[in-house]
Structure 1
Amino acid sequence: MLLDPSVSRQEYIEDCEVCCNPIELSVEFEEGDLVYFEANSIEQ
């Protein structure tokens, strides 16, 4: 998965590349460095 460091704080939903179930992603960057990453399954 590709992350865009040009936006400092992001939350979005992306489908898993393996099982196609949705995953809620939360990421945070400081000065271009990843400082926080969380991925939670959204079970259906």
Structure 2
Amino acid sequence: SNNTISEVAFTLGFSNSSHLSTVFKKYTGVSPKQFQQTINSNKIDIL
């Protein structure tokens, strides 16, 4: 997604992006930024 962490936090009902980041890392083991970087590096180009 091209949304910022703040936009995602607001959409999901979190009071701020720090709270979302804390909860996200607790359940996934990585920060939202690390998760996005992993997803982006694993994309496959379709011809």
TM over 0.5: no
Decide which structure has greater helix share: 2
Structure number, greater radius of gyration? 2
Q: Where on the TM-score scale, by shorter chain, does this alignment land: which range?
A: under 0.3
TM-score scaled by structure 1?
0.22
Greater RCO structure (CA 8 Å; 6+ sep): 1
Decide which structure has greater strand share: 1
TM-score scaled by structure 2?
0.21
